[in-house]
Structure 1
Amino acid sequence: MLDLAFTPPAPKVIAGAREDWELVIGMEVHAQVASAAKLFSGAATRFGAEPNSNVSFVDAAMPGMLPVLNEYCIEQAVRTGLGLRATINLTSAFDRKNYFYPDLPQGYQISQLYHPLVGEGEVRVDLAPGVARMVRIERIHVEQDAGKSIHDMDPALSFVDLNRTGVALMEIVSRPDIRGPEEAAAYVTKLRQILRYLGTCDGNMQNGNLRADVNVSICRPGAYERFRETGDHGHLGTRCEIKNMNSMRFIQAAIEYEARRQIAIVEDGGKVVQETRLYDPTKGETRSMRSKEEAHDYRYFPCPDLLPLEIEQAWVDDIAATLPELPDAKKARFVEGYGVTEYDADVLTAEREAADFFEAVAAGRDGKAAANWVINELFGRLNKEALAITDSPVSAGQLGGLIDLIASGEISGKIAKDVFEILWSEGGDPARIVEDRGMRQVTDTGALEAAVDAVIAANPAQVEKARANPKLAGWFVGQVMKATGGKANPQAVNDIVAARLGL
């Protein structure tokens, strides 16, 4: 594994306080396993179903019902661990986390505390060109989700929907290596990207399929380094946990507010109380939810209904052999193989489908030209129309064909943009569109020379100005392009103008 020291931490110093303070952040990201069935039952996991329609007898905790472990969910968790370069524990076990709430019909949650399926790993977080951080993963444990309490249908009543009860979650626990709000959002963004590449979680934060609990504390400058050296959490301040964050923007805003709240308390002579808090996006503030529980408060004990889970190394190796190329490796290959910039490679690899689209366009073509068209024209138009790459009206084959026409000199970049608009709205074959609509670029030297001579003859005063200031020669090129309806080869026109004017 890469050591965190290769990218020194960049602490967030909170401005506006009377003294200097730094932030220390750890995160617990709950990722819903991409599986058609729940962790311990065959009930469906589809989102948006009628309340309490995806509930089996096991989910509802009917007497005598026993959980049966879904092997595919375990495979997905192992795949995730491998994607995060983590240790896979061949022996793990499930525990009961005991607490009582209306949306938890069993009165306990089946989770993993003492023996998780996945051990230590790491995530590389790119913060800016040439600036990266390694965030250590402490563990990934598999657990079942709870249901959902609904309070806004009737002010006097609360309702419970058990559809999510028993859905498989991967709780990805980081070390307290994150040092600022922007870094926290970048970490979740990168984690989401990896999960989507792996196909182990769809990363849909709006539906609650990926949400984060954020642990925030403040410390004096230098305290974090002493913690890293000794492992003693006493060097860090008292942490507060902000629950169920499902937006990158809200994660940043909540951390900013919480840091300032804690600083104000300490600088006024008070002590931060360890507690669980919620973020109110309307007011832009966190508020107390309950005192922070420790493990002993939940009375964890081994789940008597499930034997320890033992998997074989050969099975893990088989899963590892099926892993896709992950974002960091794909980005490096794009920079090396296609000659694109790191920034462009970041954009192109943000989503696996977008990267695949680019590779189809770039196959056998100039990588930089393909990247420019995919990022600037295609992605720009998709963003404007709020469309995903999978819904693009222009296919990779069509865009590649358009680039071929530019490379062969049959059309100019300006004409290509007109063809792109036709492809977007009407579809068709780029070469056929150019042929049928007479859009082919004029490359006949004789015709271009005649056009240049006509413009020069009609503008003697401009000729003298251009000879005195060669930068004005572009005016003649523009006039020729206008006279030919934009079909003239710009470079050829430029060369002829320069020769005629003696530049």
Structure 2
Amino acid sequence: MLRSWSKGAYSALSRTSRPVSLHPRGVPSGATRRSVQIQSAASAAADRVPLRKQLKQEAKAIREQKRLRKESEEASRQAWELTVGIEIHAQLDTEAKLFSRAPTSTSHVPNSNVALFDLAFPGSQPEFQVATLLPALRAALALNCQVQTVSRFDRKHYFYQDQPAGYQITQYYEPFARHGFVDLYDYDGIAPEDGDHIRVDIKQVQLEQDTAKSQEYPPASQLLDFNRVSHPLIEIITMPQIHTPATAAACVRKLQAILLSCGAVTTGMELGGLRADVNVSIRRRGEAPGQCQYDGVSGLGQRTEIKNLSSFKAVEDAIVAEKNRQIAVLESGGVIEGETRGWTIGSTETRRLRGKEGAVDYRYMPDPDIPSLILGEDLVSSLKTSLPTAPDSLVAQLTGPGFGLSIDDAKPLIELDDGARLEYYLDVVETLRSQTPDRDPEAHVALARMAANWVLHELGGLLTKTDHSWSAQVVPAQALADLVQSLNEKRITGSVAKQVLAAIFEGDSRPVSRLLEEENLLLRPMSREEYVALAEEVLAQRPEMVEQIRRKNQLGKIGWFLGQMMRLGEKGRVEASKAQEVLHELILGKQ
């Protein structure tokens, strides 16, 4: 074997153009070994990729993956039609529970606000609290529903630890309100493919009682707080007319805004006062309609229900995840089962909870202990005329000729702090207009826009920075109006106005006029010569930057010089607009 190998090796070597000297034992000599090591090092160096280049390649690969995934999702969206129906459960703003006189506060000691009927104590009877009907009626009217003069209560049977009676009292067959609608616009955040406006019909609004609150303590303990049992709820059931996840989230957001605006509820999703269930189904476009039907709509795919979604983002993300799951099942030849599924914030998939119950499973029956609910037309008419302005009407008012706000400013004013921010803003504007009644309409609009900027951005920024909850008393409306007026009349600069606002925010209770005088903050206008001298001083600090601006037209760098002028100039005297004008003139030769 050794001789045979040696002969073959010699033959192979004899065919090479340059002989290689070998160690007697077949190991390369020292010089050759170093040559091999150098070649290996060079090869390794060639294989190494600089970290910056590697990061760029990885980022490019991630972008490409996102692009391909987006294209795949778009193709999937085109191939399949998504249909969504929503059920909203909202706690009504009432002092008593629906069928007992126990208070509705859920912040008290657990199980301290409980009546015998709430616990299904044998022999206890329901006692309908008429006052709970008022916020429910306001909600139904605000949602454009037809209020039914006669409605009835039913028992919905199911057995779970949070339901002591073994059934929930609701209105299934004859609810107190039907046939409403909610209008969604592009500024509500609907999907672009839904256009500028979409109307979602509301099948019915029904009264029902809430269940107990469950608190899990791993690994195996679960405690129940019955304070929430029989808290009055309304359930709002939309028709399955939504076809995009973003529009579904926008619909929940809009419903919450309407309920808060009419005083029907005290809190929204963020504090647990509103929960959403979504029914999701898909079917392939162009195929024969499916056999499934719900809420009177036929031709849909088999639906699944995702329960207890507690945020707008959860609504959108859960629908996307469930849509993708159903598409994957159908494209692999599977069948969608009617079931109830759950969603955990941060996850990418819905999870099965149980099979989907139907009307037969719940064994609905009229409640024999509760008489029919009969409403008078005078009550409904009175509530209809006393409803506050709807959110859409407020948007139209704020963006109209009286205020002239952009939609980006109008929407937050309406939605922030359950309407308290809007009331504050209107107080500021009213104060400004009362101080200058002889101004023309355009001047009043300019003041309204300026006030919105200070309420939302300057004051809002201080609230965010300090993590301070909203209160109209932090900076009184009169103080902010005086501040805006002083700025508008150019008696102070913008930087001084921010300084004064921060002082008031931190507790300075002096009137604005007195504060400005005592702190020597009133504007003493600078002459043009003073502006030019100050500008030349700061330009001399960075001549190379001046040259870059001139040669490369890098106008953004002028802001640095402007900041230097504001810093070096006498406090409260430098006006940014005039300083910028002089800088442009000196650097670019433009008047």
Aligning the two structures, in what range does the TM-score lie when normalised by the shorter sequence?
0.7 to 0.9
What do the CA deviations read for 1:399-432 (whole angstroms, capped 9, x no partner)? Answer: 1111011112110112211212212223332222
- Aligned mate of 2:498, from 417, 426, 440: 417
Are 2:522 and 2:572, in contact at CA under 8 Å, matched by a contact in 1?
no
1:132 aligns with 2:211: no
The residue number in structure 2 matching 1:488 is 574
Given the two structures, how large is their TM-score scaled by the length of structure 1? 0.86
What do the CA deviations read for 1:369-401 (whole angstroms, capped 9, x no partner)? Answer: 111111221223323333333366222222111
- Change in Cα spacing, 1:237 to 1:479, as seen in structure 2 (3 Å) is closer
The residue number in structure 2 matching 1:164 is 228
- Aligned mate of 2:121, from 33, 39, 62: 62
The residue number in structure 1 matching 2:284 is 220
Are 1:452 and 1:476, in contact at CA under 8 Å, matched by a contact in 2?
no
- Aligned mate of 1:271, from 335, 353, 356: 335
- Change in Cα spacing, 1:231 to 1:425, as seen in structure 2 (3 Å) is closer
- Change in Cα spacing, 1:263 to 1:486, as seen in structure 2 (3 Å) is same
Shift of 1:477: 7.5
The residue type equivalent to 2:424 in the other structure is F
Rounded to whole Å, the distance in 1 between the matches of 2:375 and 2:393 is: 28
- Aligned mate of 2:427, from 329, 336, 360: 360
The residue type equivalent to 1:379 in the other structure is G
Rounded to whole Å, the distance in 2 between the matches of 1:203 and 1:410 is: 42
Rounded to whole Å, the distance in 2 between the matches of 1:358 and 1:224 is: 54
Rounded to whole Å, the distance in 2 between the matches of 1:224 and 1:50 is: 56
Q: Please give the secondary structure, in 2, of the residue aligned with 1:39.
A: coil
- Aligned mate of 1:387, from 468, 475, 478: 468
The residue number in structure 1 matching 2:246 is 182
The residue number in structure 1 matching 2:410 is 345
Rounded to whole Å, the distance in 1 between the matches of 2:252 and 2:318 is: 14
Shift of 1:236: 1.3
Aligned length: 483
Report 1:227-242 matches (<5 A).
233-242=297-306
The residue number in structure 1 matching 2:458 is 377
Shift of 1:165: 1.1
Are 1:148 and 1:160, in contact at CA under 8 Å, matched by a contact in 2?
yes
- Change in Cα spacing, 1:52 to 1:439, as seen in structure 2 (3 Å) is same
- Aligned mate of 2:373, from 298, 301, 309: 309
Report 1:310-329 matches (<5 A).
310-329=374-393
The residue type equivalent to 1:267 in the other structure is E
**Which 5+ residue runs of structure 2 have no aligned equivalent?**
1-70, 189-194, 434-443
Shift of 1:496: 8.3
Shift of 1:488: 3.4
Rounded to whole Å, the distance in 2 between the matches of 1:342 and 1:77 is: 30
- Aligned mate of 1:451, from 530, 553, 558: 530
Greater shift, 169-178 or 393-402, is seen at 393-402
- Aligned mate of 1:441, from 523, 530, 541: 523
Are 2:118 and 2:230, in contact at CA under 8 Å, matched by a contact in 1?
yes
Q: Please give the secondary structure, in 1, of the residue aligned with 2:574.
A: coil
Rounded to whole Å, the distance in 2 between the matches of 1:207 and 1:377 is: 26
- Change in Cα spacing, 1:159 to 1:480, as seen in structure 2 (3 Å) is closer
Higher relative contact order (CA 8 A, sep 6+): 1
- Change in Cα spacing, 1:480 to 1:153, as seen in structure 2 (3 Å) is closer
Q: Please give the secondary structure, in 2, of the residue aligned with 1:196.
A: helix
Greater shift, 125-134 or 42-51, is seen at 125-134
The residue type equivalent to 1:418 in the other structure is Q
Shift of 1:80: 0.2
- Aligned mate of 1:405, from 486, 497, 518: 486
Shift of 1:191: 1.0
- Change in Cα spacing, 1:479 to 1:17, as seen in structure 2 (3 Å) is closer
Are 1:24 and 1:224, in contact at CA under 8 Å, matched by a contact in 2?
no
Are 1:14 and 1:20, in contact at CA under 8 Å, matched by a contact in 2?
no
What do the CA deviations read for 1:187-240 (whole angstroms, capped 9, x no partner)? Answer: 11111111111111123335432101110111223679999xx99744211000
**Which 5+ residue runs of structure 1 have no aligned equivalent?**
1-11
- Aligned mate of 1:115, from 166, 174, 178: 174
1:431 aligns with 2:495: no
- Aligned mate of 1:145, from 192, 210, 215: 210
Report 1:186-197 matches (<5 A).
186-197=250-261
The residue number in structure 1 matching 2:108 is 49
1:286 aligns with 2:286: no
The residue type equivalent to 2:406 in the other structure is T
The residue number in structure 2 matching 1:3 is none
Rounded to whole Å, the distance in 2 between the matches of 1:378 and 1:333 is: 23
More helix by share: 2
- Change in Cα spacing, 1:475 to 1:251, as seen in structure 2 (3 Å) is closer
What do the CA deviations read for 1:447-502 (whole angstroms, capped 9, x no partner)? Answer: 5245246458879999x99xx99989999987765333341345566788999989
Shift of 1:73: 1.2
The residue number in structure 1 matching 2:36 is none
Q: Please give the secondary structure, in 2, of the residue aligned with 1:63.
A: coil
Greater shift, 379-388 or 30-39, is seen at 379-388
The residue number in structure 1 matching 2:94 is 35
Are 1:127 and 1:186, in contact at CA under 8 Å, matched by a contact in 2?
no
The residue type equivalent to 2:366 in the other structure is P
Percent of aligned positions that are identical: 35
Shift of 1:284: 3.2
